Structure 1
Amino acid sequence: MSRRHATILASVLLLIGMLSAVAVVRIPYSELSPGPTVNTLGEYGGEPVLSIDGRESFDTTGHLNMTTVRVTSADYRMTLGEALYGWLADDAAVVPHDSLYPDGTTAEEAEEENAEEFSRSQESAKVAALGELDIPVETRTVVQAVIKDGPAEGTLRAGDVIKTVDGTPVQAPADVAKLVTEHEPGEQVIFTVVPVKTATAAEEAGEDPAEGATREVTVTTTAAEEDGRALVGIQAGTAHTFPFDIDIQLADVGGPSAGLMFALGIVDKLTPEDLTGGTFVAGTGTINGQGEVGPIGGITMKTRAAEEAGARYFLTPAANCATAAADRPGNLTLVKVGSMDDAMAALKDIREDTTDALPRCAAN
């Protein structure tokens, strides 16, 4: 074989090897791409996304679309070729796998966490919406989670209403941690609780769940590994009793980022005037019970999804504004919002066609 032929053969074999590597070699990266958008005022899978029972609701027009991001699953590893394609594509983002699934999170754990966050976001959206309308909501402090193999396992249950700790009334979840950490590790803490079954039965009967039969539970504290403070192995949280039923039906969606759009959809359903004036508005953002809007991930994928769906305006969390504005798709107007009040004011400008007053996102 001549030297020239040997060089050509070596080059061909090298090329084959490189192409094989691109097609076969797996790398620790994940891909984000635009997901579906859903009008919170409309239907999904033939069912209303938002339905209200027990209070007058009103017909709506226009769109208040929540937006989503498609993400490769926790147990999927991209090939080098897929990653290269994603890096070059305008409608995808390739990021380190650990940035989405830290500490070796499994697909099942990620799905469970997303479902829990989605459920909490619905609860917060309802509270924020009713707060915007000055409709009272009953609030109580509950055991949100019991840590596996912790001191409280088997004695306290998720959903138990915490009335007192060592006889001191509990007004908020932070009170529980404060009262427990006043103890030394090894000391006993006495909880007065309404058991979850009693609380649930009272709520279903339309009664105050905190007025059911209470019981005392004694838990011996242990020391936290990181700083030695006393703990009992529970996570306290807040639960609410709503004055009427608000049902949110949306399958195959997880995470907390739809909170703002759910809250606005609920307000729109409960008020005679259309919030959008018939305009196609989309958006994203977490929301808490005080109506504060928080940042989300995958903002540029969500703005692309909204623009492709036909949205004219996009309600953008203030913390995501610079990133969104740096890669704004088409003629989509990015509106900066930091609270429920900001979003309501923006929608007023949109429906009254006074959009020069809108706070727009700007790139740094």
Structure 2
Amino acid sequence: MSRRALTLLLAGFLVLALGVVGAFRPVPYVVLSPGPTENTIGEVDKKPVISIKGRETYPTTGALSLVTVAYQGGPAAKIDLLTALRGWLDPTVAVVPQESIFAPDRTPKEVEEENTVEMTNSQDSATAAALNELKIPYTMGVSVASTQKGKPADGKLRQGDEINAVDGKPAEDVTVVADTVKAHKPGDDVVFTVTRGKEKLDVTVQTVAGPEKQTLVGVNMQSTYKFPFDVDINVGDVGGPSAGLMFSLGILDKLTPGELTGGKKIAGTGTITPTGEVGPIGGIAQKLVGAKDSGATVFLTPADNCAEAMKAVPDGLRLVKADTLHDAVQALDALRSGKGEVPACEAG
């Protein structure tokens, strides 16, 4: 073999070796794919997704399914270049920068904890929204869900503390507490009046500047509610706030005579506020695929996600726009009865 041929052969092997090594090197991306769906008026592991005690409930049929997004990657388990390339070639998945899912100032554990808090808040907000729709009264407050390690609140405020006031201002909801803290300058003292067990006490916490220069103390809060009956939601490892709308509809369906679905398989997504406003979510394209795969024929879509959803909707899946819980209920009534307007997503 000539020296030139040998050189080319060695160079080829080197390029191949580098390519193979490079294909398996970790890259800072996350692959999003369609996740499992759960019927909120059905069961998970032979247990009802929604259990209601202390109030009359009614039979349901069909499905009111929440949809999820599964992901590969992240700081603790980076994907390799080959996995990312496969994702880029698959129209049903998305490959996004790692920092869009895992903020640089958050550890994977902190992200998981925040998702758990968001899910708990979402379930409570969903119950509150359903009760508001039915005009059933309840009371609410604010409590400490967790504190961020190394931040001023760590070791001073405790999980389960009920926040009664901040700087003497009644803690009417989470937003009031957060806004009161943000109104301070870094280095200021904030006085939290809390109930801890049977004891009521004032806890002084110094503020610091956050990564985006906002003032904070490092406390994760959640709204607490006192409902007139028990609503328990069981969804396993699902986290985040995007199932709020479907939880509310599932609760409403169980608390009212008749059937919201008319026996149809309905899926949907959207955050929910206690007053029933539906908010946008991420991963809409993957959620649409998951809904279609589950057999759904109708997909309740937050208004702000409509434009994106229209570009990705699978054949045979009807998009119905939902601005509020009340709008979603009216749309389902119209679908079931064949009377009235069903709001559709429009190109934005």
The residue number in structure 1 matching 2:91 is 90
Query: Given the superposition, is the C-alpha separation of residues 338 and 13 from structure 1 closer, same or farther in structure 2, using an over 3 Å criterion?
Result: same
Does the Cα contact within 8 Å between 2:296 and 2:317 map onto a contact in 1?
A: yes
Work out which of the residue numbers 253, 260, 267 in structure 2 matches 1:268.
Answer: 253
2:260 partner amino acid: L
- Pairwise CA distance, 1:180: 6.3
Which segment is superposed worse, 44-53 or 233-242? Answer: 233-242
The one-letter code sitting in structure 2 at the alignment partner of 1:76 is A
Secondary structure at 1:127's aligned position in 2? helix
- Cα separation, 2, equivalents of 1:299 and 1:350: 22
Partners of 1:334 and 1:229 lie apart in 2 by 38
Distance 1:228 1:5 in 2: 61
TM-score between both structures, scaled by the size of structure 2: 0.87
Q: Displacement, 1:359?
A: 2.0
**1:64 equivalent in alignment to 2:64:** yes
**1:98–1:104: 8 Å Cα contact kept in structure 2?**
no
* Matches for 1:286-297 after TM superposition, within 5 Å: 286-297=271-282
TM-superposition CA deviations, 1:203-231 (whole Å, max 9, x none): xxxxxxxxxxx533252645657899987
Larger Rg: 1
CA distance in 2, matches of 1:184, 1:325: 44
Distance 1:142 1:28, change over 3 A: closer
Instruction: Give me the whole-angstrom Cα distance separating, in 2, the residues matched to 1:180 and 1:89.
Output: 45
8 A Cα contact 2:122 2:271, kept in partner: yes
1:179 Cα shift?
5.9
Query: How far 1:163 moved relative to its partner?
Result: 3.4
Question: How much identity, in percent, do the aligned residues show?
Answer: 46
Structure 2: distance between partners of 1:93 and 1:320: 16
Structure 1: distance between partners of 2:208 and 2:89: 50
The answer (yes or no) to whether the contact 2:117–2:222 under 8 Å persists in 1 is no
Q: Are 1:242 and 2:227 counterparts?
A: yes
2:286 to 286, 291, 301: 301
Give the direction of change, closer, same or farther, for the CA distance of 1:52–1:6 in structure 2 (3 Å limit).
same
Q: Residues 10 and 339 from structure 1, CA distance in 2 versus in 1: closer, same or farther, beyond 3 angstroms?
A: same
| 2:103 counterpart residue number | 102
Residue deviations 1:67-108, cap 9 Å, x none? 011101422222222211111112211111121112064433
Which moves more between the two structures, 57-66 or 335-344?
335-344
**Is the CA contact (8 Å cut-off) linking 1:144 and 1:238 kept in structure 2?**
no
Contact 2:194 2:203 in 1 (8 A): no
Could you list the per-position Cα deviations for residues 309-351 of structure 1 after superposition, in whole angstroms to 9, with x for gaps in the alignment? Answer: 1110001111111111111111211111121112111111111
Q: Which runs of 5+ in 2 are unaligned?
A: none
The alignment's TM-score, normalised by the length of structure 1, stands at 0.84
Does the Cα contact within 8 Å between 1:186 and 1:220 map onto a contact in 2?
no
User: In the alignment, what sits opposite 1:39?
Assistant: 39
Contact 1:40 1:262 (C-alpha < 8 Å) held by counterparts: yes
RMSD of equivalent CA atoms: 3.1
Partner Cα separation in structure 2 for residue 178 and residue 83 of structure 1: 40
Partner AA of 1:303 in structure 2: L
Structure 1: gaps of 5 or more residues: 199-213
How far apart, in 1, do the equivalents of 2:64 and 2:165 lie?
A: 42
Equivalent pairs, count: 347
Kindly indicate whether residue 340 of structure 2 is the aligned counterpart of residue 359 of structure 1: no
